[in-house]
Amino acid sequence: MENHSLIEKIKNKDGEAELKEIYDKYRNEFLIWAMRKHSCTKEEAKDVFQQSVIIFYENIIYGKVKEITSQVKTYIFSIGKNKILELSRQKSKQQFNSEDYMFAGQDIFYNDFDDVYEEKIQKIEQCISKIGDPCKKLLVEFYYHKRPMIDIAEIMDYKNSDTVKNLKYKCLKRLKKIFQSEFGILFKGAL
Amino acid sequence: MSTNENDIELLDQFINGQLDATKRNEVSKRLEQDLEFARELNQLKLMVDCVRISGRKRLLDEIKQWDEDIEDDIEEPEKIRNLGVFRWYYAAASVVVFMVAGFLIYSNINFGYDNIVADVYEPYNYISPTSRGGDVQKNQLSQFFMYYDRAEYTQAIQLWEEVDDAQKTDDAEFYLANAYQAEKRYSEASDIYKKLIKSENKYKMASIWYLALCYLSLDNPEQANDLLVELENENSSYSPKATDLLSRLNK
């Protein structure tokens, strides 16, 4: 698969299907590599691979990576390798060196997948869940997957992008109210 | 000043860096002057972050679902599988393995034939140049002997590959075998010695002697003994050495 067109495919509304294809293709190879070469347990290897695929996806959709100079497999395995090193550092309680996060002269952007993240996410998930669907889906599509309004209208079966824009505003208002009740003074004021 | 739907759109674009320089400056100015607008931005940023975290969690859940659909007969390597459960047993077993290995190595040093061989072995003396010519190949052979003479056996062996086949005489090969032996490459040395013995080469007696030493180094005293007995019975400069060595081996 041509790397440039792959990036475009991942960015469009069928991006998750492309991601699944990549996941299925390299999953077993990564697990074997992580277990044999880095002495990971199978569960650790699986977790690391899943995180690596998400980081790969986010780097593309947030435009942090515009071009992949190496093979996709090499890129994902490099992310995975750094995650494994991070894991072993956590195990041995050593601090990590940011220089390890360079790959072929290209920054790989890392996001939290740690204990703090796990703690935060439960509270946030509770808040987001309270707005219910379709608001939750719409906001996630717009802010996380960075889908254009027109694509969201198609995915969620709305008339046009204006409808989506309008609904998005209402959803944010609803979310803000929930946050106000959960987090208090920080959210004082009207949206 | 209160915010409306258009302000939220504007702030969305501001967060995502989608505004041109002029619009961006306008928003920055307004943020300095309008506290409510600035607070709106901070709240929007926080909400967007939370939605993104939630989005990631959703994607991770979806990926876990994909994972369940994959046929998986991958097994953890034995050492990893057992490490979690039998960590202390594994560590203890490792210590035992190292102790046994250490004992075996120690035993070999003390009870093998290395000490005896070290006492009697010295590489065959290189006496005179067999060829000194002007062309490259002859020079390479000369260089081979030069390295051999300097006891630089690794280099001599490496250079051998470059010597022309026509120059690789049995006599020259005898020195190659010696170089192999000096480098503890006993099998390769033995093969050459056997060939020279069979071909009745002028170095036959020397080859029998060195082959016997190779056998000892390879921990094969029976074959070494046979060769030394053969050598003892020959009228050769190696006969007294063979007798002496046999007496040491039979002590």
More confident residue, A104 or B112: B112
Cβ atoms B140, B163 nearer than 8 A: yes
End-to-end CA distance of chain A: 45
A191/B62 CB distance under 8 A: no
Could you give the CA distance from residue B138 to residue A106 in angstroms, rounded to a whole number?
Answer: 53
Facing residues of A103 across strands?
A106
With a cut of 80, say whether residue B91 has pLDDT above it: no
* Calculated CA dihedral for residues A39, A41, A47, A53, nearest 10 degrees: 40
Considering the domain architecture, whether residues B100 and B64 belong to the same structural domain is answered as no
Among B87, B111, B135, which residue terminates a domain?
Answer: B111
Chain B contacts in chain A segment 36-65 (CB below 8 A): 36, 39-42, 46, 50-51, 53-54, 57-58
Could you give the CA distance from residue A24 to residue A147 in angstroms, rounded to a whole number?
Answer: 24
For B190-215, write each residue's pLDDT tens digit: 999 999 998 888 888 999 999 999 99
Chain B contacts in chain A segment 110-129 (CB below 8 A): 111, 117, 120-121, 124-125, 127-128
pLDDT band at B167 (very low <50, low <70, confident <90, very high): confident
With a cut of 80, say whether residue B134 has pLDDT above it: no
Considering the domain architecture, whether residues B148 and B128 belong to the same structural domain is answered as yes
Facing residues of A102 across strands?
A107
* B221 cis-preceded (ω within 30 degrees of 0): no
Considering the domain architecture, whether residues B30 and B100 belong to the same structural domain is answered as no
More confident residue, A63 or B94: A63
Considering the domain architecture, whether residues B28 and B85 belong to the same structural domain is answered as no
Considering the domain architecture, whether residues B106 and B134 belong to the same structural domain is answered as no
State the smallest CA–CA distance between residue A50 and chain B in angstroms: 7
pLDDT at residue number B132: 46
Could you give the CA distance from residue A90 to residue B19 in angstroms, rounded to a whole number?
Answer: 40
Those residues with Cβ within 8 angstroms of residue B31's Cβ, 6 or more apart along the chain or in another chain: B37, B38, B41
Q: Is residue A58 classed exposed, middle or buried when 0-12, 13-18 and 19+ CB atoms within 10 A define those classes?
A: buried
Considering the domain architecture, whether residues B213 and B171 belong to the same structural domain is answered as yes
pLDDT at residue number A98: 39
B70/A24 CB distance under 8 A: yes
Considering the domain architecture, whether residues B102 and B198 belong to the same structural domain is answered as no
Considering the domain architecture, whether residues B130 and B241 belong to the same structural domain is answered as yes
pLDDT at residue number B112: 63
Cβ atoms B5, A173 nearer than 8 A: no
Match 């306008």 to its residue by tokens.
Answer: B26
For B28-61, write each residue's pLDDT tens digit: 888 888 888 888 888 888 888 888 888 888 899 9
Considering the domain architecture, whether residues B147 and B230 belong to the same structural domain is answered as yes
Fold of A115-182: Arc Repressor Mutant, subunit A (1.10.10)
Considering the domain architecture, whether residues B45 and B156 belong to the same structural domain is answered as no
Could you give the CA distance from residue B179 to residue B96 in angstroms, rounded to a whole number?
Answer: 38
By Cβ distance, the residue of A35, A128, A190 closest to B50 is: A128
Note down the domain range covering B22. Answer: 5-69
Mean pLDDT within B83-98: 51
Among B89, B111, B133, which residue terminates a domain?
Answer: B111
CATH of the domain at B171: 1.25.40.10
Structural domain total, chain B: 3
State the smallest CA–CA distance between residue B68 and chain A in angstroms: 11
By Cβ distance, the residue of B5, B55, B74 closest to A140 is: B55
pLDDT at residue number A115: 57
pLDDT at residue number B111: 44
- Nearest C-alpha neighbor of B157 from the set B169, B144, B146: B144
Those residues with Cβ within 8 angstroms of residue B248's Cβ, 6 or more apart along the chain or in another chain: B116
Mean pLDDT within B103-119: 60
Mean pLDDT within B97-108: 49
AA letter at B173: E
Mean pLDDT within B58-85: 75
State the smallest CA–CA distance between residue A72 and chain B in angstroms: 18
Tell me how crowded residue B227 is: count the other CB atoms within 10 A of its CB.
22
Considering the domain architecture, whether residues B167 and B238 belong to the same structural domain is answered as yes
pLDDT at residue number A116: 58
Considering the domain architecture, whether residues B143 and B45 belong to the same structural domain is answered as no
Those residues with Cβ within 8 angstroms of residue B192's Cβ, 6 or more apart along the chain or in another chain: B173, B174, B176, B177, B180
* Calculated CA dihedral for residues B9, B11, B16, B21, nearest 10 degrees: 100
Residue-range domain boundaries for chain A: 3-107, 115-182
State the smallest CA–CA distance between residue A187 and chain B in angstroms: 7
Could you give the CA distance from residue A153 to residue A111 in angstroms, rounded to a whole number?
Answer: 29
Query: What value of ipTM does the predicted structure carry?
Result: 0.80
DSSP string, A55-67: HHHHHHHTTS-S-
Task: Find the helix packing angle between B239-249 and B204-217, rounded to 10°.
Answer: 20
Could you give the CA distance from residue B25 to residue B121 in angstroms, rounded to a whole number?
Answer: 88
Please give the C-alpha separations between residue B216 and each of B175, B212, B224, in angstroms, as whole numbers: 20, 6, 6
Mean pLDDT within B167-193: 90
Enumerate residue ranges in chain A where pLDDT < 70. Answer: 1-4, 68-70, 91-121, 183-191
pLDDT band at B74 (very low <50, low <70, confident <90, very high): confident
pLDDT band at B96 (very low <50, low <70, confident <90, very high): low
A54/B8 CB distance under 8 A: no
Q: Is residue B63 classed exposed, middle or buried when 0-12, 13-18 and 19+ CB atoms within 10 A define those classes?
A: buried
What's phi and psi for B58, nearest 5 deg? -60, -45
Please give the C-alpha separations between residue B9 and each of A153, A166, B19, B40, B129, in angstroms, as whole numbers: 17, 10, 11, 12, 92
Cβ atoms A42, A53 nearer than 8 A: no
Nearest chain A residue to B15, by CA: A143
